[in-house]
């Protein structure tokens, strides 16, 4: 990685940082016993239930596991469509 790239902050994240992020993710999944496939299923079903009542921005929905230490939680970020923009 060149000096200039480093100076301009254009470098890729260091492999140590990548390792930490990946470790965090697998640990959260392992501890909760939730696979990425199950997360996808959850996301689809959450969208299905919510959109029956509310207009949600389907493409922007995110369902993720977050966790620090030994407590993890399931976080669903469900942006709503702006009603004013609808005709």
Partner 1 sequence: MTGNGTEARVVTVTSGKGGVGKTTLTANLGAALAMRGQRVVVVDADVGLRNLDVMLGLENRIVYDLVDVIEERCRLRQALVRHKHLSKLWLLPAAQTRDKTAVQVEDMVDVCGRLREEYDVILVDSPAGIEWGFRYALAPATEVLVVTNPEVPAARDADRVIGLIEAEEKGPARLIINRIKPKMVERGEMLSIADVVELLAIELIGVVPEDQEILVAANRGEPLALSRDGSLAGSSFHNIARRMLGEEVPFQPLRDRGVFERILRFVSPERS
Residue 10 engages partner 1 in binding (rule: CB under 8 A)? no
**Binding-site member from 3, 4, 7, 70 for partner 1 (CB under 8 A):** 70
Rg over alpha carbons for the chain, rounded to the nearest Å, is: 18
- Using a 10 angstrom Cβ sphere, with 0-12 exposed, 13-18 middle and 19 or more buried, the burial of residue 65 is buried
**Binding-site member from 5, 10, 14, 64 for partner 1 (CB under 8 A):** 14
Report the distance separating Cα 56 and Cα 30, nearest Å.
30
Taking the CB of residue 72, how many other CB atoms lie within 10 A of it? Answer: 17
CB of 1 to partner 1, least distance (A): 10
**Binding-site member from 5, 30, 40, 62 for partner 1 (CB under 8 A):** 30
Which parts of this chain interact with partner 1 (CB under 8 A)?
A: 14-17, 19-20, 22-24, 26-27, 30-31, 68-70
């Amino acid at each position: 990685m060149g000096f200039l790239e480093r100076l301009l902050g254009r470098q890729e994240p260091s492999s140590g940082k990548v390792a930490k992020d990946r470790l965090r993710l697998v640990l959260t999944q392992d501890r909760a016993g939730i696979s990425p496939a199950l997360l996808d299923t959850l996301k689809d079903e959450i969208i299905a239930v919510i959109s029956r009542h509310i207009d949600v921005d389907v493409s922007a929905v995110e369902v993720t596991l977050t966790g620090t230490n030994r407590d993890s939680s399931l976080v669903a970020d469900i942006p709503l469509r702006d009603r004013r923009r609808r005709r």
